[in-house]
C-alpha cells in the first residue's frame, strides 16, 4: 500500500504542477496583476526588510562595541545590559543614517534646483547659440548644413510640443496631476514610515527570526537538503552584500570625483551632471553610457566644445573605475565573465526595470552557482570527469573507463580557453 500511495501522490503532484504551469502561461496578465497588487500591499514590509538588511552591518558593529563597553567599562552584566546596548546601537544606527541622508539632501537639493532652474531659463538662448554654432561649422557644406538644420528644427519642435503637452498642461490636468502626485507622496511616506518600524522590529529580533526560519527550513527539507539550502543562503548573502554595498561605495566615490573635477574643468551644471553620473554608475556595464548621454546633451547645448572635453573625461573616469577602483572595491564578488554580466543585466533589466539592472548580476551569479553545482552532481553521478581541463581537445569519452580520449592534434588556444573557463566557473 505504501508503494501505491507513493505512485498516487506523485501523479497528484505532477498534475497539480502541470495545471499551475498552464495557468501561469495562459493567465500571465492576471497573474502579473495579482503579483503587482500583492507587492503594493507588502511594500512597507519589503522596504523594512531592505532597510534592515542595509543597516544590519552598522548595527551589528555598534552593538558589539557597546556590549563590550558596558561589560568591561561600566561593569554591567545580565539581560538589562544587553537591552541597553541593543537600544543604544539601534538609536545611533537610525539617527546616523537619517543624519547622513538629510545632510546629503541638504547639500544636493539646493544646488540641483539652481542647476535645473539655470538650465531651463537659459535653454532658449542656448538653443539659438547652438544653432548659430552649427551653421558656422557647416557653412562650407550647404547640403549637410540643410539636413542638419532640418533635423535640428524637428528636434526643437518636438521639444516644444512635449513641453506644451507634458510640462504645461491645462488647469484641470494640473490639478489632477497635483492630486495624484500628492497621494503618491503620502503613500510613499507612509510606506517608508512603516518600513522603518518594520526594520526596527527585524533588527531587534533578527536572531529570533533567524532561529525560527532555520527551524522551519530543516523541518520541511530535512538535514541533507536543509544544509544545501543553508549553504546557498550564505552564498547569496555574501554575494548580494558584497556586490550591492561595494557598488554603492564605488558610485559614491565616482560622484565625489565628479563634484571636484567638473568645477575645476569649468563644466556647466557641474552638480547636476555629477548626480546623473553617480546615480547611473550604480548600474553595472551600462551605467556609464546611460549617465554620459544626458550629461553630454546638457553640456552640448551650453557649450559644444566643453561637451567634447566631457566625453574624454568620462571615458578616462570610467576606465579608471572599471580597471582600478571597481575591482579594488568589489574584488571578485561574482566570478562572472563580461558576457554573463551583460546577459544578466539585459535579462533582469527587461523583467524588472532599474531594480533588475541593479540586482541582476548578483542574482544571476547565484543561479549560475546552482546550475554549476547541478552539472557537477550529474557528471559525478554518471562517473564522468569533473574538471573543465579534462574536456580540452576532447574527441570522445570511453564508455567503459569513463575517461576522456583526446584528439591527435590539440590546439594551444584550447588550453588557454579551458583555463579561462576554469577561472570563470570557479572549478
Model pLDDT for residues 329-357, shown as the tens digit of each residue:
766 666 677 777 778 888 887 777 777 77
What are the residues whose beta carbons fall under 8 Å from the beta carbon of 242, sequence distance 6 or more? 330, 331, 333
> In whole angstroms, what is the distance from residue 176 CA to residue 188 CA?
18
> In whole angstroms, what is the distance from residue 124 CA to residue 302 CA?
11
Residue 426 has what pLDDT?
47
Q: Is 122 helix (H, G, I), strand (E, B) or coil?
A: coil
> In whole angstroms, what is the distance from residue 272 CA to residue 405 CA?
61
> In whole angstroms, what is the distance from residue 151 CA to residue 403 CA?
65
> In whole angstroms, what is the distance from residue 400 CA to residue 298 CA?
68
Q: Is 406 helix (H, G, I), strand (E, B) or coil?
A: strand
Which residue's C-alpha cell is 557537477? 376
Q: Which residues pair with 404 in a beta bridge?
A: 397
Q: What are phi and psi of 396, to 5 degrees?
A: -165, 170
Residue 95 has what pLDDT?
92
Phi-psi region of 284 (alpha: psi -120 to 50; beta: other; left: phi over 0): beta
| pTM: predicted TM-score of the whole model, two decimal places | 0.68
Residue 92 has what pLDDT?
92
Q: Which helix (H) or strand (E) holds 48?
A: helix 43-68
> In whole angstroms, what is the distance from residue 27 CA to residue 20 CA?
10
What counts of helices (H) and strands (E) characterise the chain? 14, 2
Cell of 25: 502561461
> In whole angstroms, what is the distance from residue 47 CA to residue 160 CA?
39
Q: Nearest Cα to 345, choosing from 285, 291, 292, 289?
A: 285
For 218-259, the DSSP string reads: HHHHHHHHHHHHHHHHHHHHHHHHHHHHHHHHHHHHHHHHHH
Residue 378 has what pLDDT?
87
- Torsion sign across C-alpha atoms 49, 51, 57, 61: negative
Q: Nearest Cα to 316, choosing from 259, 260, 257, 275?
A: 257
Q: Which regions in the chain score pLDDT beneath 70?
A: 1-2, 73-78, 120, 123-124, 126-127, 134-135, 137-139, 145, 156, 159-182, 330-335, 408-427
Q: What are phi and psi of 397, to 5 degrees?
A: -110, 130
Phi-psi region of 331 (alpha: psi -120 to 50; beta: other; left: phi over 0): left
> In whole angstroms, what is the distance from residue 249 CA to residue 396 CA?
49
For 149-174, the DSSP string reads: HHHHHHHHHHHHHHIIIIIS--HHHH
How many CB atoms are closer than 10 A to CB 402?
11
Residue 69 has what pLDDT?
82
Cell of 141: 557644406
How many CB atoms are closer than 10 A to CB 281?
25
> In whole angstroms, what is the distance from residue 358 CA to residue 282 CA?
7
Residue 205 has what pLDDT?
85
Cell of 283: 548600474
> In whole angstroms, what is the distance from residue 313 CA to residue 307 CA?
10
- CA separation, residue 186 to residues 40, 98, 190, 191 (Å): 14, 19, 6, 9
Max distance between CA atoms of the chain, in angstroms, equals: 94
> In whole angstroms, what is the distance from residue 146 CA to residue 128 CA?
16
Helix intervals (H) in 74-205: 79-121, 123-137, 142-162, 171-204
* Angle in degrees, 0-180, between the axes of helices 206-264 and 270-280, rounded to the nearest 10: 140
Residue 73 has what pLDDT?
63
Amino acid at each position: 500500500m505504501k508503494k501505491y500511495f507513493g505512485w498516487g501522490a506523485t501523479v497528484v503532484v505532477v498534475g497539480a504542477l502541470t495545471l499551475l504551469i498552464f495557468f501561469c502561461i495562459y493567465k500571465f496578465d492576471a497573474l502579473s496583476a495579482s503579483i503587482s497588487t500583492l507587492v503594493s500591499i507588502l511594500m512597507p514590509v519589503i522596504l523594512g526588510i531592505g532597510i534592515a538588511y542595509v543597516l544590519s552591518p552598522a548595527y551589528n558593529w555598534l552593538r558589539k562595541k557597546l556590549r563590550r563597553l558596558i561589560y568591561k567599562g561600566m561593569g554591567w552584566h545580565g539581560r538589562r545590559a544587553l537591552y541597553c546596548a541593543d537600544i543604544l546601537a539601534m538609536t545611533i544606527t537610525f539617527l546616523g543614517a537619517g543624519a547622513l541622508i538629510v545632510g546629503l539632501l541638504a547639500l544636493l537639493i539646493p544646488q540641483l534646483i539652481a542647476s535645473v532652474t539655470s538650465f531651463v531659463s537659459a535653454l532658449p538662448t542656448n538653443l539659438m547659440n547652438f544653432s548659430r554654432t552649427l551653421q558656422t561649422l557647416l557653412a562650407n557644406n550647404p547640403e549637410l548644413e540643410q539636413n542638419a538644420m532640418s533635423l535640428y528644427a524637428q528636434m526643437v519642435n518636438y521639444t516644444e510640443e512635449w513641453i506644451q503637452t507634458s510640462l504645461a498642461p491645462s488647469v484641470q490636468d494640473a490639478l489632477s496631476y497635483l492630486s495624484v502626485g500628492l497621494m503618491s507622496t503620502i503613500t510613499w511616506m507612509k510606506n517608508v514610515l512603516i518600513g522603518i518600524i518594520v526594520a526596527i522590529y527585524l533588527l531587534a529580533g533578527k536572531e529570533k527570526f533567524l532561529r525560527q526560519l532555520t527551524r522551519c527550513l530543516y523541518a520541511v527539507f530535512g538535514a541533507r537538503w536543509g544544509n544545501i539550502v543553508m549553504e546557498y543562503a550564505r552564498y547569496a548573502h555574501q554575494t548580494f552584500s558584497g556586490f550591492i554595498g561595494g557598488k554603492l561605495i564605488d558610485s559614491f566615490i565616482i560622484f565625489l570625483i565628479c563634484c571636484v573635477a567638473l568645477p575645476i574643468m569649468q563644466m556647466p551644471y557641474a552638480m547636476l551632471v555629477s548626480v546623473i553620473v553617480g546615480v547611473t554608475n550604480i548600474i553595472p556595464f551600462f551605467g556609464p553610457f546611460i549617465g554620459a548621454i544626458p550629461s553630454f546633451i546638457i553640456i552640448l547645448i551650453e557649450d559644444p566644445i566643453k561637451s567634447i572635453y566631457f566625453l574624454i573625461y568620462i571615458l578616462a573616469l570610467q576606465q579608471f573605475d572599471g580597471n582600478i577602483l571597481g575591482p579594488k572595491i568589489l574584488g571578485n564578488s561574482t566570478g562572472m565573465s563580461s558576457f554573463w554580466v551583460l546577459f544578466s543585466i539585459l535579462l533582469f533589466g527587461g523583467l524588472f526595470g532599474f531594480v533588475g539592472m541593479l540586482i541582476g548580476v548578483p542574482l544571476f551569479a547565484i543561479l549560475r552557482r546552482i546550475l554549476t553545482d547541478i552539472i557537477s552532481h550529474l557528471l559525478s553521478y554518471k562517473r564522468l570527469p569533473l574538471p573543465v581541463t579534462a574536456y580540452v581537445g576532447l574527441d570522445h569519452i570511453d564508455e567503459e573507463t569513463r575517461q576522456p580520449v583526446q584528439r591527435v592534434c590539440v590546439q594551444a588556444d584550447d588550453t588557454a580557453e579551458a583555463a579561462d573557463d576554469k577561472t570563470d566557473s570557479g572549478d
